[in-house]
Structure 1
Amino acid sequence: MTADPAAEESAPVPVRPAEGPAAPQCSLAAAPDPYPLYRTLRERHPPAYDPHLGAWLVSRYTDVVGALRDARLGRPRSVSCCEPGDDRCGAPHLLAPRAVREHATGAFREIAERTAYVLASRLARRPEADLVAEFCRWLPSGVVATAAGLPYDALARGDRGLPPTRTGPGRRGRGGPGTAALAGLLADRAALTEKALASLIANLLDHPAQLAAVREDPALIPRAWAETLRRNPPVHVLVRRAVQDVPLAGGTVPAGAAVGILIGSAGRDHERFAAADDFDLFRPDPGRLTLGPPGCPVAEVAALQAQYGLRALLDAMPGLRWADGFRPVETGLLTRAPRALCVRPA
């Protein structure tokens, strides 16, 4: 993720890298906990050049939203559906007509519920379990496998990473028309759904009063999901490349330069969210930056997996809590989530 050297030599650099005593720490690659650095970047260096990443970093909420929508910052061609900040999703045309799309999305509700309860029930009587390795990682892949008509024994052999399936709307999975096509899109995002599920569970276990509220009223799960995506999004950095000189956040990013759009920083911006570092499922406005555009079937199915996954865990494990002495640790640079969730199910 380095900028084009020729572009850097030929174009002026009107915004300087961070200077002063803290400069050596002003690289995301050297920050095991990026949140203090995010705050420093928002308050002092919008934007800042990170020489270790070879990219200009955009950190403030308003600047992140603007960068995500700026056509002069080219995105990778591999994007198959949509990304944070998009107004529209590219998936519906792959699942046309609308009736097929709605049927496929609806079919995933039953698939997600059944898969979640099977996985949760297998862990319920265990003295200890790692919910990342034994639940969050398997639920998205199990849902995709079922929808695509693939056997579970492939997953049992460890083949969790299903390849993207480019199928048309006429291809039938176990859920009927369109499910195989949607399963292909979901396979692209399975790892991100896994990370978001892990962060959701970690946030609730870290806040017992809010966990109790969700137990009492499962209708609060979508609020907990939205708040998790704001506070702990699975994607922290999206990389773009300037196709021309781009005025951005009070400076100018030169043509050809890489731009790191800090989604993980935007959700913690105190200028946009009150008590932005706190997890609060009752927050009146968690924003939509990381929820995906309205009507995105991939985002809708991910939310269904969160809803039924959490309900299955809470139903099967009334005493769910952290294992003795365990604390979750987030890891990752571009994507980020707890590496393990060691719990006592019983």
Structure 2
Amino acid sequence: MTAAQQAPDILSPEFATDPYPFYRVLRDDYPLLWHEATQSYIVSRYEDVKRAFREPVFTTQNYDWQLEPVHGRTILQLDGREHAVRRALVAPAFRGSELQEKFLPVIRRNSRALIDTFRGTGQVDLVSDYATKFPINVIADMLGLREEDRGRFQGWYTSIIAFLGNLSQDEAVVEAGMRTREEFAEYMIPVIRERRENLGDDLLSTLCTAEIDGTRMSDEDIKAFCSLLLAAGGETTDKAIAALFLNLLQHPEQLAAVRADRELIPQAFAETLRFTPPVHMIMRQPAADVELSGGVIPAGSTVTCLIGAANRDDQHYADPESFDVFREDLPARTSFTAAADHLAFALGRHFCVGALLAKSEIEVGINDLLDAMPDPVLAPGFEPAELGVFTRGPQSVPVRFTPA
């Protein structure tokens, strides 16, 4: 395939196997592309994706059909004062003293419990044995939910993420998402009502009592937010931990540097979010006609923003196809705020509210894994492979190590 002959198809098997060469073709030759199968305009250059995330003309009304059917109405769909108030209700739990004092111990407890299951074995698959379980366990624990229900949360999480990334509109995936919405509501609404009567020191109790200017969250609001937290909080951290460790294992000199100086972990996380982001696509819907890359996107259209392509734009980053924790054009100091340079958490008013929670989980998790595995190497003969188009991460990361 050459750029002059054919535009890349984001639903093709070749794209799913390795999208990065196709991202380059899209940026260079098809920066604004109408994609018939998804009925959306695809943008791939850094400046275009940044505009779509920051400029108010680009709304999140696409979530009305993309997320609401499985979550209910969430903070992602709101704008103006309604969005500001709802975000102010939930944000304090994910930053500052609330995060450090109340939830950091929860993160540490869950990380070490998982590592204890393989600490003495000398081998682990970081995807199946740690990364896919860690963030979901943390979220369930933060909410004060029963440990024996975590398996159900894992299943719901998988179904929600599949629904979100169902670009081909597979009917079985849609049906599974609808079942998940019903099952999750049947589980959560009684728990929320009981928690209102018996408040504790957990996130669910915080959500039940949060109030701004006389506005409180309804049972349905809380249920929808918990559903969103399960999906967004799980997916980002799950794939980021696996990708970060795989990136370091494939660059032993950088792994050694991070082991020697743990202050480099945030920089390694930021570079992973740029180089191999967990979420490769986010959609937006302009409220008016918008010009991008020489073309016009009509009002009301769906815009598919390719984060995975924009984060490797050579017009913005030096040597973007290389993983480099010492990169000077990606400041870690702002990488977990709305002023981030990478685009993995979006930007502006809809910047990921859980970014600092993800950062705390990554810092705890990578520190604990490095402590437990003094000499990790990839299993002999292993060939890394990523899975996913909408969200993407390592299929497996089998590691061998000498037990500490």
TM-score when scaled to structure 2? 0.70
2:83 paired with 1:29: no
> Partner residue of 1:15?
none
> Which amino acid in 1 is paired with 2:48?
D
> Partner residue of 2:239?
195
> Partner residue of 2:392?
336
2:113 paired with 1:153: no
Instruction: Tell me if structure 1 keeps the 8 A contact 2:143–2:204.
Output: no
> Partner residue of 2:295?
251
2:295 paired with 1:220: no
1:152 deviates by: 2.1
Instruction: Tell me if structure 1 keeps the 8 A contact 2:135–2:238.
Output: yes
Task: Name the stretch that deviates more: 114-123 or 281-290.
Answer: 281-290
**Which SS does the other structure have where 2:354 is aligned?**
helix
Equivalent residue in structure 2 for 1:139, among 123, 134, 143: 134
Aligned residues: 321
2:305 paired with 1:261: yes
**Which SS does the other structure have where 1:325 is aligned?**
coil
Q: 1:208-243 CA deviation, whole Å, 9 max, x = no partner?
A: 111111111111100000111111111111122344
- In structure 2, relative to structure 1, the CA distance for the partners of 1:274 and 1:57 (3 Å cut) is same
1:37 deviates by: 1.0
Instruction: Tell me if structure 1 keeps the 8 A contact 2:54–2:347.
Output: no
Runs of 5+ consecutive residues of structure 1 not aligned to the other structure: 1-17
TM-score when scaled to structure 1? 0.81
> Partner residue of 1:289?
343
Instruction: Tell me if structure 2 keeps the 8 A contact 1:27–1:53.
Output: no
**Which SS does the other structure have where 1:134 is aligned?**
helix
2:277 paired with 1:233: yes
2:121 paired with 1:126: yes
Q: 1:49-97 CA deviation, whole Å, 9 max, x = no partner?
A: 22333321111101111122233333124584569xxxx987641237x
Higher helix share: 2
Equivalent residue in structure 2 for 1:274, among 313, 318, 324: 318
1:319 deviates by: 2.0
1:247 deviates by: 1.4
- In structure 2, relative to structure 1, the CA distance for the partners of 1:200 and 1:336 (3 Å cut) is same
> Partner residue of 2:39?
54
2-structure distance, mates of 1:289, 1:89: 21
Instruction: Tell me if structure 2 keeps the 8 A contact 1:104–1:177.
Output: no
Indicate the percent of aligned positions where both proteins have the same amino acid. 34
Instruction: Tell me if structure 1 keeps the 8 A contact 2:318–2:329.
Output: no
**Which SS does the other structure have where 1:143 is aligned?**
helix
1:44 deviates by: 1.2
Q: Following superposition of structure 1 onto structure 2, how do residues 303-322 of structure 1 map, counting pairs within 5 Å?
A: 303-322=359-378
Q: 1:289-340 CA deviation, whole Å, 9 max, x = no partner?
A: 3256699651111111101111111111112211111122112111111111
2-structure distance, mates of 1:255, 1:67: 13
